[in-house]
Amino acid sequence: MPDCLFCAIVAGSVPAFKVVDSPDGVGFLDIRPVFKGHVLVVPRPHVPELSALEPDLLPGFFALVQRVAAAVPEATGARGTFVAMNNIVSQSVPHLHAHVVPRTKGDGLRGFFWPRHKYGSEEEAASYASRIAGVLG
């Protein structure tokens, strides 16, 4: 899809802090993370929402989301993750993506109010991406 930011990231024509690049999808840091280490996982083909994802792609895509959800706490020191997906409403980019957000007890996240935290620098973002990618292998 020529005007899709996530398709451009998948294709490599737009830079991103990728943590995984596999046949099942691509994971990269959210540039406006809820907490540092917040990863977006997208399928390789342009798919606007979950209901449009081909059934044969579901197992691989969700296995990738599961792998990222396991890697994020180990890489960031978080206690767990919050995994979420919007369909059409609240999607800032109309390409299916799963949010994998690191969580710790008392982190202040309440319901669906997601305060955003910026990375202090590109080096800090690259460090988070590298640590998560390292856990993913």
Catalytically annotated residues: 97
Distance CA 92, CA 42 (A): 14
Answer for the pair 17, 128: CB distance below 8 angstroms, yes or no: yes
User: Tokens 């299916």 identify what position?
Assistant: 96
Nearest CA-CA partner of 107 in 54, 58, 37, 50: 37
Angle subtended at Cα 30 by Cα 106 and Cα 107, rounded to the nearest 5 degrees = 5
Distance CA 87, CA 90 (A): 7
